[in-house]
Amino acid sequence: MPPELPLRDLLLPDWPAPAGVGAVMSTRRGGVSAAPFDSLNLRPPGLPGDAVDAPEAVRENQRRYAAALGATPVFLDQVHGSDVVVLDRVDTTLPRADASVSTVPGIACTVLVADCLPVLLCSDDGRAVGAAHAGWRGLAGGVLENTVAAVCRAAGCGPDRLLAWLGPCIGPRNFEVGADVLRAFGADPATPDPERFVPRTRADGSPRWLADLPQLARDRLQAAGVQRVSGGAWCTVDDASRFFSFRRDGRTGRLAAAVWRRSA
């Protein structure tokens, strides 16, 4: 049984990770931030942009989240890219990357999301863990392939030895995209795969598609050799009580997904 957590509404990944690996995904509940960041907004106030919450509220939220983990989350300055950083110490400078990997117990690889897909990874012997922020740009740009390769290097194993978990993201009923997204994934807008891109037409007659972000991530992981993939069943847009959603709300907070090696 997992340990009792200080925060009452957290997602514990339903994956067969070894006992030495911990993983947690936050919801928006259990923090102290005021609207529109209510309440467990974990986005560091030092990041650029206009979604700036009260710094003291974010610090308290992050303290509660770290207490729930029993580890130190290392947040990133995410730019929808494909770079991966290796964490061998606690870094307070917000490394610029969209994924991180670590073999050091107590350091939690952490990504922030509010519609993009968080992907957690670990080797089945628990020697290495990783977390990736996979919006469509990063996903098409190779962030998952790069993270898989980095975890494999750190663990000294092949991708067949990895486990992956997909957290909450914008779901296939809500992720409306244009032809540029289809082309980024090598799909022809004239004949898209209906299991990944469902055609729809706006009232003005312009063509759009509903994209299945978790399925696109599964495709990438499986092509990279990762066969054991769990999760991907939650939609951030549909559940306003539990999840932040940029597409739904615009100015909003950020959820966090973290994975770490437990201390012996």
pLDDT of residue 92: 76
Phi/psi at 165 (5° precision): -130, 130
The span from the CA of 11 to the CA of 185, in Å, is 29
Q: What is the pLDDT of residues 76-90, one digit of tens each?
A: 999 999 999 999 988
Q: What is the pLDDT of residues 15-41, one digit of tens each?
A: 999 999 999 999 999 999 999 999 999
CATH numeric code, 10-170+219-261:
3.60.140.10
Domain boundary assignment for the chain: 10-170+219-261, 176-211
The span from the CA of 109 to the CA of 261, in Å, is 10
Pair 98, 81: CB distance under 8 Å: yes
Average pLDDT in the 41-52 region?
86
Q: Which single residue is written with the structure tokens 């009792």?
A: 4
Of residues 101 and 206, which shows the higher confidence score? 101
pTM tops 0.85, yes or no = yes
pLDDT at 43 over 70: yes
The span from the CA of 34 to the CA of 38, in Å, is 5
Pair 193, 187: CB distance under 8 Å: yes
Q: What is the pLDDT of residues 176-204, one digit of tens each?
A: 999 999 999 999 999 999 999 999 988 88
Phi/psi at 100 (5° precision): -145, 155
Of residues 47 and 175, which shows the higher confidence score? 175
Phi/psi at 256 (5° precision): -135, 140
Q: What is the pLDDT of residues 241-253, one digit of tens each?
A: 999 999 999 999 9
pLDDT of residue 6: 62
Average pLDDT in the 39-65 region?
91
pLDDT at 2 over 70: no
Average pLDDT along the chain: 94
Both tokens of residue 219? 């495709």
Q: DSSP letter at 77? A: B
pLDDT of residue 4: 43
The span from the CA of 131 to the CA of 145, in Å, is 12
